[in-house]
Amino acid sequence: MATILLQAAGAYIGGLLGPIGATIGTAAGAVAGYMLDRALIAGTQRIEGPRLTGARPFTAEEGVSLPRIYGTARLGGTLIWATRFQEVSETSRQGKFGPKVTEYSYFANAAFSLCEGKVAGIRRAWADGKELDLTTIELRVYNGAEDQLADPLIEAKQGAGNTPAYRGTAYVVVDNLDIGPFGNRLPQLQFEVLRPLGTVPGKIKAVCLIPGATEYGLATSVVEKEIRPGESEAVNRHVLHAGSDIAASLDELQMLCPELEHVALVVSWFGNDLRAGECRIRPAVTTRSGGMSEAWHVAGLGRATADLISTHDGGPAYGGTPSDQSVKQAIAEIRSRGLKVTFYPFIMMDVPADTTLPDPYGGGAQPAYPWRGRITCDPAPLQPGSTDKTALAREQIEAFCGSGSGDWGYRRFVLHNAHLAEAAGGVDAFLIGTELRGLTTLRDETGAFPSWRRCARWRMTCAGFWARRPS
């Protein structure tokens, strides 16, 4: 109707300017009328997307055997409970005057039995053969204990007193799963089940968490590296069953070792010489190039000013020093799980194969990537002219330890990490001098052990930090 009216009006107005004006006015009026008609008609239209006319029936095989597993196994779940699909509709308008479109989404609740209990837990899950990101779905795991309680969702649907707890059966409950990506049907689900053997896992009380040479591996927040503009990848999340690699490791550790109480957190800096008087201990990185979503900082150094780790077989010989931020996150994560933390400052020796540094043990040159326990006086004990049991041994140890400010001695390494532990809320134990047998056995001219005296002083300094730890 608007097309006819505006076409006539345009012809009349344009006719005042002559025959050409009437033609132009007719065309302009027709176009304006057509657009107005389309807006009025489309604005009242309603379009509905695909919708299930009825829930597809679930199938579950009756009398199927319940597996018994040992170790790690990938199992298909047997459906033991489900609700009708939950329908959620969302209506939006296409454009300012476009039609209204209603789209439907469907969500499923279901429970699947897995095997005989008791199991340690579930590590991964697949839907139609594709691994699921377990951080994006609600998955509750029941390990099949004889005292496990009924699932709250099943109990809410079935009623109190009408819900089995499936004691002795390991099962999972999938809560509010979006089934749109699976063709609006419940997908074929499989689960990686962990069940340790024997009694040893239940007796493990403490572990050492390694590697300690990883720039972002201890971070709980995801750190991404830009590959090219618009494309990046996570450097500390290589799994889909946890938000970060360290979270996944701790999850699995606590599943397999349920009596775990204590975790030793290793944090590495790098020494550069087996001669105590010449050795300097500094943070190091694997590359100068940045492009990370979180900058690397340790002890006031950035990536550009830290040492660069030597290469071996075409790649870095070690991982880098954990960033200060990642260390604090790791301490907080471990403590949040009810575990105690031992801080383990660790020296790795970055002495490459082509070094020409003199060997204090009498060799031509120092061996490649030696053990930190080989750091000693120069010449070493039992070598001709050894400085052991002399004043020079004490002087070399003092040079190794340093003053703690303006140098890169062992004291600065220890105290920086002690302050870092304090900033993270404190730790339960702090290790000093571990594996440094080549130093701790040295004596000065009086027969005393100067390295032990130094460690005792640092212990008193660090003890003040732990005394301030909140209870």
323 vs 17, which has greater pLDDT?
323
Is there a single domain that holds both residue 175 and residue 270?
no
Three-class SS of the chain = CHHHHHHHHHHHHHHCCCHHHHHHHHHHHHHHHHHHHHHHHHHCCEEECCCCCCCCCCCCCCCCCCCCCCEEEEEECEEEEECCCEEEEEEEECCCCCCEEEEEEEEEEEEEEEEECCCCEEEEEEECCEECCCCCCEEEEECCCCCCCCCHHHHHHHCCCCCCCCCCEEEEEEEEEECHHHCCCCCCEEEEEEECCCCCHHHCCEEEECCCCCCCCCCCCCCEEEEECCEEEECCCCCCCCCCHHHHHHHHHHHHCCCCCEEEEEEEEEECCCECCCCCEECEECCCCCCECCCCCECCECCCCCEECCEECCEECCCCCCCHHHHHHHHHHHHHCCCEEEEEEEEEECCCCCCCCCCCCCCCCCCCCCCHHHCECCCCCCCCCCCCCCHHHHHHHHHHHCCCCCCCCHHHHHHHHHHHHHHCCCCCEECCCCCCHHHHCCCCCCCCCHHHHHHHHHHHHHHHHHHCCCC
Q: Which pLDDT score, from 0 to 100, does residue 20 have?
A: 59
115 within 8 A of 193, measured Cβ to Cβ? yes
Is there a single domain that holds both residue 356 and residue 445?
yes
Residue 467 banded pLDDT, cuts 50, 70, 90: very low
- The Cα 442–Cα 435 span in angstroms is 14
Tell me the residue range of the domain where 255 lies: 207-467
Q: Which pLDDT score, from 0 to 100, does residue 191 have?
A: 96
Q: Residue 46 above 70 pLDDT?
A: no
| Domain's final residue, options 197, 225, 251 | 197
Q: Which pLDDT score, from 0 to 100, does residue 470 have?
A: 47
Residues 6 or more apart in contact with residue 313 via CB below 8 angstroms: none
Report the share of the chain in percent with pLDDT over 90. 71
Positive or negative: CA dihedral 202, 203, 206, 208: negative
Task: Decide if 65 is inside a domain.
Answer: no
Q: Which pLDDT score, from 0 to 100, does residue 371 have?
A: 97
Least confidently predicted of 209-213, 323-327, 328-332: 209-213
- The Cα 353–Cα 368 span in angstroms is 4
- C-alpha torsion angle, residues 411, 414, 417, 419 (rounded to 10): -60
280 within 8 A of 332, measured Cβ to Cβ? no
Q: Residue 13 above 80 pLDDT?
A: no
Is there a single domain that holds both residue 285 and residue 235?
yes
- The Cα 92–Cα 98 span in angstroms is 10
Is there a single domain that holds both residue 98 and residue 215?
no
352 within 8 A of 368, measured Cβ to Cβ? yes
Is there a single domain that holds both residue 311 and residue 376?
yes
pLDDT in tens, 411-435: 999 999 999 999 999 999 999 888 9
Residue 206 banded pLDDT, cuts 50, 70, 90: very high
Residue 57 banded pLDDT, cuts 50, 70, 90: very low
Q: Which pLDDT score, from 0 to 100, does residue 92 have?
A: 73
Structure token digits, residue 67: 């597996």
Is there a single domain that holds both residue 190 and residue 213?
no
Is there a single domain that holds both residue 101 and residue 137?
yes
The greatest distance separating any two alpha carbons of the chain, rounded to the nearest whole angstrom, comes to 122
Task: Decide if 157 is inside a domain.
Answer: yes
Report the domain count for the chain.
3
Mean pLDDT of 362-376: 95
Place of tokens 């049991």: 389
Task: Decide if 21 is inside a domain.
Answer: yes
Place of tokens 């002087």: 395
Q: What CA–CA distances, in Å, run from 363 to 81, 352, 375, 397?
A: 72, 15, 14, 21
Residue 103: how many CB atoms within 10 A of its CB? 15
What length is written for the chain?
471
Positive or negative: CA dihedral 194, 197, 203, 208: negative
Is there a single domain that holds both residue 290 and residue 360?
yes
Is there a single domain that holds both residue 10 and residue 110?
no
Task: Decide if 95 is inside a domain.
Answer: yes
Which of 470, 389, 374 lies closest to 426, judged by CA? 470
Least confidently predicted of 18-27, 124-133, 173-182: 18-27
pLDDT in tens, 379-407: 999 999 999 999 999 999 999 999 867 89
Task: Decide if 54 is inside a domain.
Answer: no
- The Cα 34–Cα 27 span in angstroms is 11
Residue 463 banded pLDDT, cuts 50, 70, 90: low
pLDDT in tens, 154-201: 999 999 889 999 999 999 999 999 999 999 999 999 999 999 988 999
Least confidently predicted of 47-56, 201-210, 271-280, 348-357: 47-56
Task: Decide if 66 is inside a domain.
Answer: no
Task: Decide if 257 is inside a domain.
Answer: yes
Task: Decide if 232 is inside a domain.
Answer: yes
Structure token digits, residue 44: 């009242």
